[in-house]
Structure 1
Amino acid sequence: MPDTMSQKTAREGLSNPELFEGGISATKNGVAEPFVQTAAERQIEEAERLRERQSNALLKLVMKAKQEVAEGKTVSPEVALQRLRASRK
């Protein structure tokens, strides 16, 4: 891909995703404009964001559980099973 291209060339090349591999950063008078990326790159980015959110959620659950253990808010497995069974009735 060339370092620079005209707007006309970019518009004409929109049907050719290989032309935009890695994305582009368009500038106008030195000011950044919209970023264009391929659908495959977008899917990878969204999957990474989802993994990050899931990791953060898991970390929050672990920290909450650790806090509850430190505060003595625990129950035996038998009591937990009794509560679970009772909630299903």
Structure 2
Amino acid sequence: MSITMSQKLAREGLGNPELFQGGVYITKNGQAELFVQTAEERQLELQEREKERQSNALLKLVMIAKEDIANEQVMSPEDVKRKLRGSRT
């Protein structure tokens, strides 16, 4: 749940991180200018975003693999090993 407060109240409350829990919209002349949240909340948000990015990347790889299988563009494990060994030299 986000709340709204003036710049003056926000400045006065900077030493109290609990005041900004859940995110706070800082207003200037009644218009939202900034959104402030605690560092802990921001870190959790970034971690969640990274997990989502990794999940999307994995899903894309699975879709590419399914497409390759459907198009019969597959390699046996032995072919993969040969190709990897060949790329090392």
TM-score range, shorter chain: 0.7 to 0.9
Do 2:25 and 2:35's aligned partners in 1 also have CA atoms closer than 8 Å? yes
> Secondary structure in 1 aligned to 2:14?
helix
Q: Kindly provide the amino acid, as one letter, of the partner of residue 34 in structure 2.
A: P
**d(CA) in 2 for partners of 1:61, 1:68:** 10
After TM superposition, give the deviation of residue 30 of structure 1 in Å.
5.1
Output the TM-score relative to the length of structure 2.
0.85
CA RMSD of aligned residues (A): 1.8
Superposed counterparts of 1:1-89, under 5 Å: 5-28=5-28, 31-89=31-89
Unpaired segments ≥5 residues, structure 1: none
> Secondary structure in 2 aligned to 1:78?
helix
Do 2:22 and 2:37's aligned partners in 1 also have CA atoms closer than 8 Å? yes
Higher relative contact order (CA 8 A, sep 6+): 2
**d(CA) in 2 for partners of 1:7, 1:72:** 62
Number of equivalences: 87
Unpaired segments ≥5 residues, structure 2: none
**d(CA) in 2 for partners of 1:39, 1:70:** 47
Output the TM-score relative to the length of structure 1.
0.85
After TM superposition, give the deviation of residue 75 of structure 1 in Å.
1.1
**d(CA) in 1 for partners of 2:47, 2:76:** 38
Identity of aligned residues (%): 64
Structure with the higher fraction of residues in strand conformation: 2
